A and B are shown apart, each in its own frame.
Chain A
Amino acid sequence: MFFNTRTERIFIWVFFPLALLLPLFLAENTFFVSKLTSVMIFALFVMSLDYLVGRCGLITLGHAMFYGLGGYLFWMIAPEYEAVNFWVYTFYICMIAAAVALVIGFLVLRTSGIYMIMITLAFAQMAFYFFSDSIDFGGTDGLFIYVKPETSIFGLSFFDLDNPTHFYYLCLLSLFNTLIFFRLLIRSRFGRVVDAIHENPGRTTALGYNIFLFRLMSYVIASALGAYAGYLFTLQYGFVNPSMLAWTTSGSALVMSILGGMGSIYGAILGTFVYEGLHFSLEHLTEHWMLFMGILIITMVMVFKNGIAGYLEKLLEKRA
C-alpha cells in the first residue's frame, strides 16, 4: 500500500480532486485563486520542515533562511530583463541551496535538541540581517523581479506564469509531487534508516550506520525544497524581501506543522490550510483576531495530542 494510513488516502482523494476543480468555479475570482496559491506554496515549505522535524527529529527555527534564499538566489543569478527557463533555474536554485545547506548542516548538526534550535536560529538571523542591512540587496524593502521565467520543455510550454490560474496549477502540481516524493523517500531504504535514527540514534549507530551523514542528507533535501517554495513565492508576487527570512516565518511554519500533526507529511497541508484559513477569516471578522487565534491554538494543543492528522486518524482508523 502506497500511503501509510486510510486517513491519508481519504485526505489525498478529497483534497487534490477538490483543488484541481476549484479554479473552474473561481474563474472570476482571481483573488481567491492567488490566495490559495500562496497557501499551497507555504504548505510545500511546511511539508519540507515537517519532514525535518517530524521524521528526522531535527528541530530547526532557521528553515525560513532557505525560503528567503530561494527568492534572493533567483534575483542574484537570473538576468534582470530577460526571461529565463523556469525548470533550468529551479534546478540551479535547488542545487545552490543544497550546497549552502551542506555547509550549514555540517556545522549545526553537531549540536542537538534545544541547542540545535538556537544555532539554526542564529544562522537564519545572520542571513536576515545580511539581506536587510545591505543596500545591494534592497535593504528592508527587498527587490523586484521584473521578468518572470518561461516554462517551455523542448519548445513546449504548458504554463504561463503571469496567468494566476496557470500558476495555481503549477503550485498544486509541485505540492503533489513533493508529497509523493516524501512518501517515496520515507518508504525507501534511506527513509527507514532515518526513521530508525529518530527512534533510537544509539542503536542505529551500533548497527553500523553513520547517522550524521543521514541527518545531513535529510537536512540538505529539506532545505533545497524549502528554497524551491521560496522561489515559487517570489515568482508569484514578483518581489523578494527580508521578512521571508524572519524567524517569525520559521516560527509560524513550525506551528502549522505541529498543528497538522508532526511527521505525517500530509498533515503539513492540513495544518497550513487550517491555520491560514483561521487567520484569514478571523482577520476579516475582528480587529482582535489574535485573541481568538491564540485561544484556538491553545485549545488545539489541549485537545489534539498529535495534531489534526493524529486526531483524524483516531477517528477514522479501525482499531486493531
Chain B
Amino acid sequence: MTTSLFLVQLINGLQYGLLLFLIASGLTLVFGVMGILNLAHGSMYMVGAYLVWYFFEHTGSFGLSALISAVIALLVGVFMERTLIRQLYRRNHLDQVLLTIGMIFVFNALQSILWGNDPLGVAVPPSLSGAIPMTDVLEYPIYRIFVALLCVLIAGVMYFMINKTRLGMLIRAGESNREMVECLGIDIRKLYTIVFAIGVMLAAVAGVAAAPMSSIVPGMGEHILITCFVVVVIGGMGSIKGAFVAALLVGLVDTFASVMVPQLSSMMIYILMAFILLIKPQGLFSS
C-alpha cells in the first residue's frame, strides 16, 4: 500500500468513525441515562436522510432542509418519549426491545408509504462541493471533510454540555441515582424527555449529513443500527467517551479491512467486538 493510498484510507476511516460516533452517542446517551435500549434509533438515521431529501426537493437549500429535518426529528423524539417510551421505564429490557422493534416496523412502513422504495440521492451542496488535491492523482472531497469536522464539533459541544452545564450535571446525576435526583425536586421526566429527544436528533443529524455521501435506501437504518451497537458495546454501554474511541476504532478497522483483507471485511468488526468482549467483558470504558 502506498503512502497516499494509506492516507486516503486513514481519512476515510476517521470520517466513517466520526459519523458512527454521531449515531452511537445518542444510543449510548439514552441507554446510560434512561436505561432504555432503543432499537428504533437506526430508523431515525433513515428518517433524517429521507427528510433532508424531501425538503431539499422543495426548498432547494441544503442548510435550510438540514435545519428543518433536525427540528422535526427533535419533535418526533419528544412525541415518542411522551407517548410510548415513558410507559416502559419500569419494565424490563425485553419489553423495550419488543416495543422498539414495533416502532421500526412503523417507521419502515411510513417511509415506504411517504417516499416509496426507490433509492434516492441528494446532491452535495454547491458551497461544499469540489475536492482538495492531495497528490498528483488523488484528491479528497471537501464535503466529507466538512462532515468529519461537523462531527468533531458536535462531539466537543456534547462534551462541554455534559461536563460544564447545569443540564449536563442533571444528566450525570440522573445516570447515577434517579431517586436522589427526584428527591432534590428535579422533574426527572422532563429531563428524560430532553435526553431522548437529543439522542433521536443526533441520529437524524447523522442521517442528514450522510445523505449526500451515500444513496438513501430502505433498510439503511437497520444496517447502521447493528454497527452502532457494536460501537456502543465495544466502548462500554452508556459511556460517551467509550463510544468515541470505539467509533474511531470500528471506522478504521472496517475501512482498512476492506482494502487489506477483502474476503474477511464484513466479518472484521464482529471479530474485533468478540475479541474485545472476551478480554474486557464490560467493554473498554465501562462505568
**Considering the complex of A and B, which 4 residue pairs feature the smallest CB-CB distances, nearest first?**
A294-B105, A297-B102, A291-B109, A294-B106
0/1 interface trace, chain A 96-109, chain B, CB 8 Å (1 if under): 00000000000100
Say which one of B1-9, B92-100, B143-151, B177-185 lies at the interface with A.
B92-100
Q: Which residues does chain B contribute within 8 Å of A297, judged by CB atoms?
A: 98-99, 101-102, 105
B107 and chain A: residue at smallest CB distance: A294
The binding surface of chain A is classed by DSSP as helix
Question: What is the minimal beta-carbon distance from B82 to any residue of chain A, in angstroms?
Answer: 14
Q: How many residues of A contact B (CB 8 A)?
A: 40
Contact, CB under 8 Å: A301 / B102: yes
16 A-B residue contacts at CB 8 Å?
Answer: A59-B94, A112-B281, A115-B237, A115-B282, A119-B273, A119-B278, A288-B113, A290-B109, A293-B102, A294-B102, A294-B104, A294-B105, A297-B105, A301-B102, A302-B99, A305-B91
Say which one of B46-54, B129-137, B225-233 lies at the interface with A.
B225-233
Q: Which residues does chain B contribute within 8 Å of A298, judged by CB atoms?
A: 84, 99, 102-103, 106
Q: Which residues does chain A contribute within 8 Å of B266, judged by CB atoms?
A: 129, 133
A125 at the interface (CB under 8 A from B): yes
Contact, CB under 8 Å: B97 / A122: no
Question: What is the minimal beta-carbon distance from B53 to any residue of chain A, in angstroms?
Answer: 20
B-contacting residues, A225-254, CB 8 Å: 247-248, 251, 254
Question: What is the minimal beta-carbon distance from B105 to any residue of chain A, in angstroms?
Answer: 3
A294 to B103, CA, bound (A): 6
Q: Which residues does chain A contribute within 8 Å of B99, judged by CB atoms?
A: 297-298, 301-302
Say which one of A157-165, A209-217, A255-263 lies at the interface with B.
A255-263
A251 to B102, CA, bound (A): 12
B277 at the interface (CB under 8 A from A): yes
Q: Which residues does chain A contribute within 8 Å of B258, judged by CB atoms?
A: none
Give the residue of A118, A251, A300 whose beta carbon is less than 8 angstroms from that of B230: A118
Contact, CB under 8 Å: B97 / A123: no
B37 and chain A: residue at smallest CB distance: A114
Contact, CB under 8 Å: A119 / B94: no
Q: Which residues does chain A contribute within 8 Å of B282, judged by CB atoms?
A: 111, 115
A295 at the interface (CB under 8 A from B): yes
A254 to B283, CA, bound (A): 24
Contact, CB under 8 Å: A295 / B263: no
Contact, CB under 8 Å: B271 / A294: no
Indicate whether A119 sits within 8 Å of B105 (C-beta atoms), given known contacts A59-B94, A114-B237, A288-B113. Answer: no
A126 at the interface (CB under 8 A from B): yes
B270 at the interface (CB under 8 A from A): yes
Q: Which residues does chain A contribute within 8 Å of B274, judged by CB atoms?
A: 107, 119, 122-123, 126
B67 at the interface (CB under 8 A from A): no
Question: What is the minimal beta-carbon distance from B265 to any residue of chain A, in angstroms?
Answer: 9
Contact, CB under 8 Å: B267 / A129: yes
Question: What is the minimal beta-carbon distance from A114 to any residue of chain B, in angstroms?
Answer: 6
Q: Which residues does chain B contribute within 8 Å of A290, judged by CB atoms?
A: 105-106, 108-109, 112
Contact, CB under 8 Å: A288 / B103: no
Seen from chain B, the residues whose Cβ lies within 8 Å of a Cβ on chain A are 37, 84, 87-88, 91, 93-95, 97-99, 101-110, 112-113, 222, 226, 229-230, 233, 237, 263, 266-267, 270-271, 273-274, 277-278, 281-283
Q: Which residues does chain B contribute within 8 Å of A254, judged by CB atoms?
A: 94, 97
Seen from chain A, the residues whose Cβ lies within 8 Å of a Cβ on chain B are 53, 59, 107, 110-112, 114-115, 118-119, 121-123, 125-126, 129-130, 133, 247-248, 251, 254-255, 258-259, 262, 288-291, 293-298, 300-302, 305
Q: Which residues does chain A contribute within 8 Å of B277, judged by CB atoms?
A: 111, 115, 118-119, 122
Q: Which residues does chain B contribute within 8 Å of A296, judged by CB atoms?
A: 102
Q: Which residues does chain B contribute within 8 Å of A288, judged by CB atoms?
A: 109, 112-113
A118 to B27, CA, bound (A): 14
B237 and chain A: residue at smallest CB distance: A114
Q: Which residues does chain B contribute within 8 Å of A107, judged by CB atoms?
A: 274, 278
Question: What is the minimal beta-carbon distance from A12 to any residue of chain B, in angstroms?
Answer: 25
A305 to B94, CA, bound (A): 11
Give the residue of A59, A129, A291 whose beta carbon is less than 8 angstroms from that of B113: A291
Contact, CB under 8 Å: A126 / B267: yes
A297 to B61, CA, bound (A): 38
Indicate whether A118 sits within 8 Å of B229 (C-beta atoms), given known contacts A126-B271, A259-B98. Answer: yes
B286 and chain A: residue at smallest CB distance: A115
Q: Which residues does chain A contribute within 8 Å of B88, judged by CB atoms?
A: 301
